[in-house]
Amino acid sequence: MKVVLPIIDNHTISFIPRFDTDNELVLSLKNEASGVSTDVVNTYSIVNEGTEINFTFVFKNKDRYQIRIKEGDEVVYRGKLICTDQVPQDYTIIKDVYIYEP
């Protein structure tokens, strides 16, 4: 799950694509509450083994979205996104144990 802050409009999401991309990517955000889907103008760059996509979008606090990134008709990445003003915490889940990593 990707987390964005409502206080800024420029966002960067890192992800590992299903296959190598070399053409334009289409970023679609679907609001889970309203069902409205929006294609967002973006730029992307290849970083190590993954991809970073940069875009501008105004989110409201506590909104949840489904992310779909496509190259042509092929889906490169699918996931979820939540907008929150809380600071996200890093943790690891290991069979009934949660480990907080500050």
In the chain, which ranges are E strands?
2-4, 10-15, 26-31, 37-40, 42-47, 50-56, 64-71, 74-83, 91-94, 97-100
Mean of the per-residue pLDDT values of the chain: 88
- pTM (predicted TM-score): 0.80
Q: Where do the domains of the chain lie, and which CATH numbers do they carry?
A: 2-100 (2.60.40.2320)
What are the pLDDT digits (tens) for 31-49?
A: 999 999 999 999 999 988 8
End-to-end, the C-alpha distance of the chain in Å comes to: 19
User: Which tokens is 27 given?
Assistant: 């970023």
